[in-house]
Amino acid sequence: HITHLRITDAGCYLCVVNYHETDHKYIDLKIEAPYKRINIQERKEDNGHILTCQAEGYPLADVLWLYENRINDTIFANTTHKLTDTGLFNITSVLRIRPSAPG
């Protein structure tokens, strides 16, 4: 039983049973830290709005921006990630919304 798991606990573990004969098995432990707390901010500028989405978790995840519950291929966001001291990924995605030209 492993308690207080950390990302660094992931890896290959070996169990060896030694009684008259030796047998062993390997297990690959994978660790996940769900992206539960997503922070979102909106900032208004003269030429539109800036939407920022930030979250921490593991493993590295993709960020999708949907408009009216659909993926829009014309929406381009700037998404970056940093590895924190705790081994989690801090993901920040910035989406700039500019008003459509009249016409």
Q: Tens digits of per-residue pLDDT, 24-71? A: 999 999 988 899 889 999 999 888 899 999 999 999 999 999 988 888
The answer to whether residues 92 and 79 touch, using CB atoms and an 8 Å cutoff, is yes
> Residue 20 has which token pair?
């008259």
Using one digit for the tens of pLDDT, what is the confidence trace for 77-96? 999 999 999 889 999 999 99
Residue 51 in contact with residue 45, Cβ under 8 Å? no
Specify the pLDDT at position 103: 56
Local confidence band at 16 (pLDDT 50, 70, 90 cut-offs): very high
Determine the pLDDT at residue 77. 92
- Please say if the pLDDT value at position 75 is more than 60: yes
CATH number for the domain formed by residue range(s) 7-97: 2.60.40.10
Q: What is the pTM of this model?
A: 0.74
Contact 94, 63 (CB under 8 A): no
CB burial string 61-83: b at 16+ within 10 A, e below: eebeeeeeeeeeeeeeeebeeee
